[in-house]
Amino acid sequence: MRARYTFRMKGLFWMVAIGFVLTAAGIVWYVVRKFKERQLAEGARMADFLAATAGKTRLVEALPAPAAIAPAVDGLAQQRLLFEAAHKAGEAGEAALAIQLYARLLARYPASAFALQARAAVDVQKRRLVKA
């Protein structure tokens, strides 16, 4: 009786061992296959990129240089951006940040079109800062 049990256990052990080896070999084969596919795809992408880049450089060389963009009058666009950023910071409850942005606006552009509004907003933000 004991001999049959030992024989069955040995057979089961070898079946599990062979199954493990076959599974490991299958995983290695799968990984190697995927790696090769990725390498081929990467090579194809690189070739497409180089071909597209080579075509674009010729096109860019053929085009004339664009004209320089004229700067905004007295930095009006930058003034507006600073004012809007400070206003949004004030609306978000960041009074200290809003005051800093308004101060930066007034320091850079003392004769700004937004100067009166910025000074009034600074007073409002200072009151909010004191309350908090």
Q: In this predicted model, what pLDDT tens digit does every residue of 10-49 receive, in sequence order?
A: 889 999 999 999 999 999 999 999 999 999 999 988 988 8
Question: 4-18, 24-38, 63-77, 101-115: which range is least confident on average?
Answer: 63-77
pLDDT, average across residues 59-64: 51
Q: Are residues 7 and 62 in the same domain?
A: yes
* Number of domains forming the structure of the chain: 2
One domain, residues 96 and 39: no
**Domain ends where: 26, 49, 66?**
66
Residue where a domain terminates, one of 27, 50, 66: 66
Judge if 47 and 88 occupy the same domain: no
Q: How confident is the model at residue 60 (pLDDT cuts 50, 70, 90)?
A: very low
Triad 88, 92, 98: Cα angle to 5°: 55
Q: Clarify whether residues 102 and 55 are in a common domain.
A: no
First-to-last alpha carbon distance for the chain, in angstroms, is 88
Same domain, 45 and 104: no
The CATH number that applies at residue 91 is 1.20.58
pLDDT for res 71: 52
Q: Which of 129, 81, 73 is nearest to 104 (CA)?
A: 81
Q: What is the mean pLDDT of the chain?
A: 84
pLDDT of res. 47: 87
Query: Do 54 and 85 lie in a common domain?
Result: no
Domain identity same for 52 and 98: no
Q: Radius of gyration (Cα) for the chain, nearest Å?
A: 36
Same domain for 90 and 126: yes
Boundary-marking domain end, from 19, 49, 66: 66
Same domain, yes or no, for 61 and 1? yes
Which residue shows structure tokens 């003034």?
79
**Proportion of the chain in helix, strand, coil states, percent, rounded to 5:** 85, 0, 15
Q: Which domain holds residue 80?
A: 73-131
